[in-house]
Amino acid sequence: MELLKQRILQEGFALPGNVLKVDSFLNHQIDPALSAAMGKEFAQRFADFRVDRVLTIEASGIAVGLMTALELGVPLVFARKKKSVLMTEEAYTTDVFSYTKKETSHVSVLKKFLPKDERVLIIDDFLANGDSALGMARIVEMAGSEVIGIGIVIEKSFQAGHKRITDAGYHLESLARVKSLDNCQILFAEN
C-alpha cells in the first residue's frame, strides 16, 4: 500500500534493535483517514473470504481493525492484554509475547464475543516474530471457529513471523513489508 509506505518513510523512525517507530500515525497518535484507507484495503483483499468477525489485540490494532470491520459490515472484537474486574464471564485465554515490549501478556476474549463456527479475520499493526497473530489464531481455534486470514499493517519480513504464519497454513496479507532496518534505514520488500 503506497500511501502507508510513504507515511512510514516520512514520519517513521528506525531505531537500534530492529524497532520501527510509527507513533505519529499508527500506535500512539492515530490518523483516522489513513486508518480508514487501510481498513478499506484489508476489506478489498479479504472481500472473497466471507468474513463473519474481525479480531485484533489491544491497543494498536483496534483502529485499523475497526475500520476493516466497518468496511466488511461485521463486528470487531479485541483481545484484552489485562483482565478487567468486569470480565467475570468465561473467556478464551492464551499467552502472547510482545517483541517490542519484551513482555508476555495473558490475553483474553470473552467467549460470548467469539462464537463457534465463524470465519474470523485477524488484524494487527505489526508482524515481527508472529507471536501476537498466532496467539489470536489459537483463541479463534479454541472457540471452534476458523481463521480465514491474517492482515498485518507493517510486516518486518526479515524476522520469523511471516514464515511462522504461512507455515501454520494461514493466509497472510501485509500492507507494507519492511525488508531491513539495518543501520536505522527503512528498506521495503517487494510485495
State pLDDT tens for residues 102-157: 788 889 999 999 999 999 999 999 999 999 999 999 999 999 999 999 999 999 99
Label residue 93 left, alpha or beta by phi (over 0 means left) and psi (-120 to 50 means alpha).
beta
Q: Are 65 and 56 in contact (CB under 8 A)?
A: yes
123: closest CA among 24, 57, 52? Answer: 57
Grid cell in block for residue 152: 498485518
Share of the chain above pLDDT 90, in %: 81
State the average pLDDT over residues 19-24.
92
- Domain 35-180: give its CATH code: 3.40.50.2020
